Amino acid sequence: MARICVIDDKAMMRESVTLVLTRADHLVETFEDARSALPVVLEGRFDLVLTDLKMPRMDGLTLIRELRESGCDTPIIVMTAYGTVRTAVEAMKLGAFDYIEKPLEMDVIDAHVERALQHGRMCKENEALRRSLSDMHAHHAMIGDSKHMTDLRIKITRVAQSDAAVLITGESGTGKELVSHAVHTMSKRKDRPMLCLNCAALSGNLLESELFGHERGAFTGADRLRKGRFELADGGTLLLDEISEMGLSLQAKLLRVLQEGQFERVGSSVTRQSNVRIIATSNRNLESWVGKKRFRADLYYRLNVLPVKLAPLRERPEDVPILVHHFLDQISRRLGRLCLKVAAEALEILTGYAWPGNVRELQNLCERCAALVPDGNVTSEIIEGWIQGSVAPVETFSRLRPGRMLEDVERQLIERTLKQFNGHREKTAKTLGMGVRTLGMKLKQWREEAAAQTRTKLLREQIYVSQ
């Protein structure tokens, strides 16, 4: 049983179609004109719409255009008289699912309706699956047992309950977009659209049109009306990626939307209301950009209501092994093969690497392992060959205690890098940017110092025993 809307200005046609559909156990609601049917269909009350094309007040083509531009994806079948098939084809280009020629036959109606309903059910199932996968993706994106990740998961849950603007900052590859989707998925807007716009990918004029839409003829090339992201994401979430790249003039217009919830399409004087939650991301220090007059201070404060700062991967090295196993398991499932095995020495190298590309770089390396390691065993030699020259022990950069002697730092760096390359002096020297002879001299000096310390300790023990 399906809920079907029938629109035709002729009462006899409405009655005939209703009779056929009710015999097939469908619930039918009829309208004599498209204008009165439009708001009811937009409410999502129907599984299928059957409409005539030629009607007073609003024709079938206008109805289809209005429904599709409003985001309504209910299947539509148009009923057309003989000789107007070309118009029916135009209707299908606008988004109609199928058409039926008049005079209508019962068997033909049944077949077309069943096919359209099946298509609608399939689309809903795909949408439900997409949302389910999105939820799983958002959940599994927050991988890690470090304190930062534990705090981040708690913060996302709290931020999601609010409708205030969110500003997510962090280096490239730290997962800003994944966190954005997690916030949307856990919010009360999760059943509404989430649209994304990369502010760095478009020029100022194109970005303004993408955000607010434009009227036909607003500028050269604007041959039709276009709705912007603020209209298309109504009731949902709008992600503005790399917000720092937006020009100052457009920042002022965005600020107005955040303050007043109003905007105009390009080329229009009609003010429209906006009900969209803004999530902005940036890999720059926006506070410093405000000081340099490259970003508006008032917009920064409007965006920074709920700040979320993502730590680079080098500051949470304990998450690296967990992420490696997670990504390799994902890739293995996708490729239908056994999960790769990573040697302990290889994991140690990965944990000590600085990861300038952060989680994205780690994921790409796991993809490389899956593609290029034929026997499924990821060894330290393989990892060394891929990240040689980029090794930077985590402690050296992010965990050094203030006040330590430079000689101690240098020795720790050399010893850890040497261990990473299994004692290979040439690789160690090349990685650290020093000569092999210099490295050898330092190692010899430290051995002699260690031997001297050992002799002194033994001497002290002998003196103590003799006493």
Looking at residue 355, what DSSP letter applies?
-
How sure is the predictor about 462, in pLDDT bands with cuts at 50, 70 and 90? low
User: Of the ranges 112-126, 268-282, 289-303, 355-369, which one carries the lowest mean pLDDT score?
Assistant: 112-126
Q: Could you identify the residue written with the tokens 């996708």?
A: 334
CA angle 356, 287, 392 (to 5 degrees): 15
Write out pLDDT tens, residues 56-68: 889 889 999 999 8
- 426 Cβ partners below 8 Å, 6+ apart? 436
Rounded mean pLDDT of the chain?
A: 84
224 and 216 Cβ atoms separated by less than 8 Å: yes
222: left (phi over 0), alpha (psi -120 to 50) or beta: beta
Q: pLDDT digit string (tens) for 381-411?
A: 888 888 754 444 444 444 444 444 566 667 7
DSSP string, 435-446: -HHHHHHHHHHH
Instruction: Quote the CA–CA distance of 425 and 208 in Å, as a whole number.
Output: 56
Position 408 scores a pLDDT of: 63
Over residues 40-58, the pLDDT tens digits come to 999 888 999 999 988 888 9
pTM: 0.57
Lowest mean pLDDT among 13-17, 212-216, 334-338, 387-391: 387-391
Residue 14 in tokens? 């409405």
Pick from 100-114, 208-222, 404-418: least confident: 404-418
**pLDDT for the residue 467:** 52
pLDDT given at position 393 = 43
Q: Which helix (H) or strand (E) holds 432?
A: helix 425-432
Q: What is the pLDDT of residue 92?
A: 84
* Candidate from 107-121, 217-231, 415-429 with smallest mean pLDDT: 415-429
pLDDT of residue 82: 59
**Average pLDDT for residues 261-279, to the nearest whole number?**
92
Contact indicator for 227, 173 with CB cutoff of 8 Å? no
Whether the predicted pLDDT of 24 surpasses 60: yes
Average pLDDT over residues 209-232: 86
* Chain centroid, CA 160 distance in Å: 16
The pLDDT, as a whole number, for residue 39 is 92
Cα 124 to chain center, whole Å?
22
Residue 306 has pLDDT above 70, yes or no: yes
E strand spans, 283-426:
306-309, 341-342, 377-378
Position 262 confidence tier, pLDDT thresholds 50, 70, 90: very high
* Domains of the chain, earliest start first: 3-125 (3.40.50.2300), 155-310 (3.40.50.300), 314-396 (1.10.8.60), 400-465 (no CATH)
